[in-house]
Structure 1
Amino acid sequence: MTIRKVKSGYRLVSKKGKNLGTYKNKAGAEKRERQVQFFKKKAAHG
């Protein structure tokens, strides 16, 4: 995942290029990135 700066704030983008959300500040995008990582790992382990 990557956090990209856009005109409207910061956008969380997946490796495949999917938009996972746009946030007003970088901290918001980083928080969401941690949430996504948590649920990816949780789903992988059962």
Structure 2
Amino acid sequence: MIVKKEDGYYVLSEKTRRNLGGPYKTEDEARKRLRQVEFFKHQKG
């Protein structure tokens, strides 16, 4: 999930609210990071 705080946009875990990236200046940058997290989460290994 993407959350806007005073110093920028953060990518947080939906379950634990753990910080997965940020602060980002724009919401688009945060959205790009969220896509990276989702990609690696669903990779088979």
TM-score by structure 2 length?
0.84
Which structure has the bigger radius of gyration?
1
Query: How many positions carry a matched residue from both structures?
Result: 43
Structure with the bigger RCO (C-alpha within 8 Å, sep 6+) is 2
Equivalent residue, structure 1, for 2:12: 13
RMSD of the alignment, in Å? 0.8
Between the two proteins, what is the percent identity of the paired residues? 47
Unaligned runs of 5+ in 1: none
1:5-24: CA deviation from partner (whole Å, max 9, x where unpaired): 11111010102110111111
TM-score by structure 1 length?
0.83
